[in-house]
Chain A
Amino acid sequence: MRYLPHSDADRQDMLAVIGAGSIDDLFAPVPADLMLRQHLDLPAHQPEFAVEAHMRKLAGKNRAGADGPFFVGAGAYRHHVPATVDHLIQRSEWLTAYTPYQPEISQGTLQMLFEFQTQVANLTGMEVANASMYDGSTATAEAVLMARRLTRREKIIISGGLHPQYRDVVDTYVGLGENLVHLSASPEGQGDIADHIDDKTAAIVVQTPDFYGHLRDVKTLAEAAHAHGALLIVVVTEIISLGLIEAPGALGADIVVAEGQSIGNALNFGGPYVGLLATRQQFIRQMPGRVCGETVDAEGQRGFVLTLSTREQHIRREKATSNICTNSGLCALAFSIHMSLLGDAGLRRLARLNHQRASALADALEKVPGVTLLNKTFFNEMTIRIGMPAADVIDQLAARNILAGVPVSRLRPDDPSLTGLIVLAATELTTDDDIASLVAALTEVLS
């Protein structure tokens, strides 16, 4: 067995050192009737090529993004990841290192996390960021809990433009009840949040660009929240948008959470991704998740450590700020490498390119009979209304090898008013040919 170093002779020699007759003897504390006496009804071990064949067969049943026109977004985006990124994250010292609890021999990971935190803070316009969370949706739920701790208030107002699955995750974490106020879906980008804020409100949660692609007026919302002593949580699911649109921190956001997948990470059918969480310096004691800080070693040399760890569950046990003990280290590394490769200039170009491709898509869609574009503003994603159930249309287009976006009804089956809506995204990978194929096929299906 290729992963197990011992031969049977090794095992016998080792048992002799232990003074045991067999490995079974070492399982003596297990009640005999609970020990399995034969192997489970599962396949036996296989050579590498056989496993590979099995996996390739499964992979072959899936339609990959590169196999044809692709406009699926809604919280996960198909971008190009430079080859350098994937090479570097597969280096042994990154891939197979543990959490950096021994800082003297983990300075690589720690310095990278410090750089990552700085990148995230600068990108979002915030003072500090943590060392990453599981993903954007769980980061949103954690931000809601953090806001409650900070304000010692309970009421949370969720914008109708928040990604429906993010909303569902917040519901599950926080628990439904009168202190969780959901505003109705806002596919036209209408804003009605300010009216609901009162002096019991801990935070409002607003996504921009929102689920339907609209850019939201963060500054006005921040002012409305702060007038009542409430916090503004801004959610960003397309992090590349911040290369082109204003940083939420500059507009008054108190906590910014984001899905970082678009930078450095493949689609992976939904995970693993990397959640970003950034906030104000004054809030760091209530910030969830791991955080890396700068210090010096015994000789005065600069070094980095995990810090503020008393907030974490392994110290505070039932008084921890959250129950999260893993970050998304390798995905954060991929994010950080890709961000370094982009730099200021590269990110701006990439963001403009995404917007330009989306503009071309919007222009083309507006010309299709039976299609109404709902967006006056967008970054790289938009919503259209068609006169037919969107899910059927998406299936018909998929049958023509065009993945035309996400029918809103898939995420919000409870709201019949959303049945005719499709959310579509374009990225730097979207070609004019892709758009032409979509337009032709959509015209045909709708006629």
Chain B
Amino acid sequence: MTVKYTEDHEYVRQNGSDGTVGISSYAQEQLGDIVFVELPAVGNSYKKGDEIAVVESVKAASEIYAPVDCTVTEINEVLNGDPGLINTDPMGEGWLVKVTIDDESALAGLMDEAAYQSHIA
């Protein structure tokens, strides 16, 4: 499993053609307490850069973009009752959606952990 990041602070955790998408720890810190998430419908397909979800803090609503071309296979329903999971465990329990990645090679265009750390530094 590898984790890749976008410049807009989404991450995708890859396992073959399956991916788990969420926002980085840095992003949740910047947003502050998350109070609401708007998740897509299972089965929806997205192109890289399409708006796939919205997370809201008290003061801001942020669109989450698809990191690669993908189709949603599962959404994290737990977030509807406990959006704070994105703050407490963004890379784990606070994931947003699981997807099937159209083309695994597209991940090569994203940042790895080291590159992302220097991106936000």
Binding site for B on A (CB under 8 A): 285, 309-310, 315-316, 319
Is the C-beta of B38 less than 8 angstroms from some C-beta in chain A? yes
Segment at the A interface, from B17-25, B54-62, B98-106? B54-62
Is A315 a contact partner of B36 (Cβ separation < 8 A)?
no
* Proximity string of chain B (11-38) to chain A, C-beta cutoff 8 Å, 1 when within and 0 when not: 0000000000000000000000001101
Is B38 a contact partner of A315 (Cβ separation < 8 A)?
no
Is B61 a contact partner of A310 (Cβ separation < 8 A)?
yes
C-alpha spacing A315/B36, complex, angstroms: 15
The 3 A-B pairs at the shortest CB distance, nearest first, are namely: A310-B61, A310-B56, A316-B61
Which residue from chain A places its CB closest to the CB of B56 in the assembled complex? A310
Q: How many residues of B contact A (CB 8 A)?
A: 9
Instruction: Give the chain A neighbours of B60 by CB distance below 8 A.
Output: 310, 315
Instruction: Give the chain A neighbours of B36 by CB distance below 8 A.
Output: 285, 310
C-alpha spacing A310/B56, complex, angstroms: 7
CB distance from A100 to the nearest CB of B (A): 15
Instruction: Give the chain A neighbours of B38 by CB distance below 8 A.
Output: 285
C-alpha spacing A319/B36, complex, angstroms: 16
Instruction: Give the chain B neighbours of A319 by CB distance below 8 A.
Output: 61
Instruction: Give the chain B neighbours of A309 by CB distance below 8 A.
Output: 58-59
Instruction: Give the chain B neighbours of A310 by CB distance below 8 A.
Output: 35-36, 56-61
Instruction: Give the chain B neighbours of A316 by CB distance below 8 A.
Output: 61
CB distance from A337 to the nearest CB of B (A): 31
C-alpha spacing A112/B23, complex, angstroms: 39
C-alpha spacing A319/B54, complex, angstroms: 11
C-alpha spacing A316/B57, complex, angstroms: 12
What are 17 of the A-B contact pairs (CB < 8 Å)?
A285-B36, A285-B38, A309-B58, A309-B59, A310-B35, A310-B36, A310-B56, A310-B57, A310-B58, A310-B59, A310-B60, A310-B61, A315-B59, A315-B60, A315-B61, A316-B61, A319-B61
C-alpha spacing A309/B58, complex, angstroms: 7
CB distance from B105 to the nearest CB of A (A): 33
* Proximity string of chain B (74-91) to chain A, C-beta cutoff 8 Å, 1 when within and 0 when not: 000000000000000000
Instruction: Give the chain A neighbours of B35 by CB distance below 8 A.
Output: 310
C-alpha spacing A316/B56, complex, angstroms: 10
Instruction: Give the chain A neighbours of B57 by CB distance below 8 A.
Output: 310
CB distance from B113 to the nearest CB of A (A): 31
C-alpha spacing A285/B60, complex, angstroms: 14
Instruction: Give the chain B neighbours of A285 by CB distance below 8 A.
Output: 36, 38
Query: Which residues 39-89 of B have a CB within 8 angstroms of A?
Result: 56-61
CB distance from A306 to the nearest CB of B (A): 10
CB distance from A294 to the nearest CB of B (A): 15
C-alpha spacing A319/B60, complex, angstroms: 12
C-alpha spacing A310/B34, complex, angstroms: 11
Which residue from chain A places its CB closest to the CB of B61 in the assembled complex? A310
Q: Other than the known A310-B36, A310-B56, A316-B61, what 5 A-B pairs have Cβ atoms closer than 8 Å?
A: A285-B36, A310-B35, A310-B60, A315-B60, A315-B61
Instruction: Give the chain A neighbours of B56 by CB distance below 8 A.
Output: 310
Which residue from chain B places its CB closest to the CB of A316 in the assembled complex? B61
Instruction: Give the chain A neighbours of B59 by CB distance below 8 A.
Output: 309-310, 315
Which residue from chain A places its CB closest to the CB of B38 in the assembled complex? A285
Residue of A285, A310, A315, A316 with highest tally of chain B CB at under 10 A: A310
CB distance from A322 to the nearest CB of B (A): 15
Which residue from chain A places its CB closest to the CB of B62 in the assembled complex? A310
C-alpha spacing A346/B11, complex, angstroms: 60
Which residue from chain A places its CB closest to the CB of B59 in the assembled complex? A315
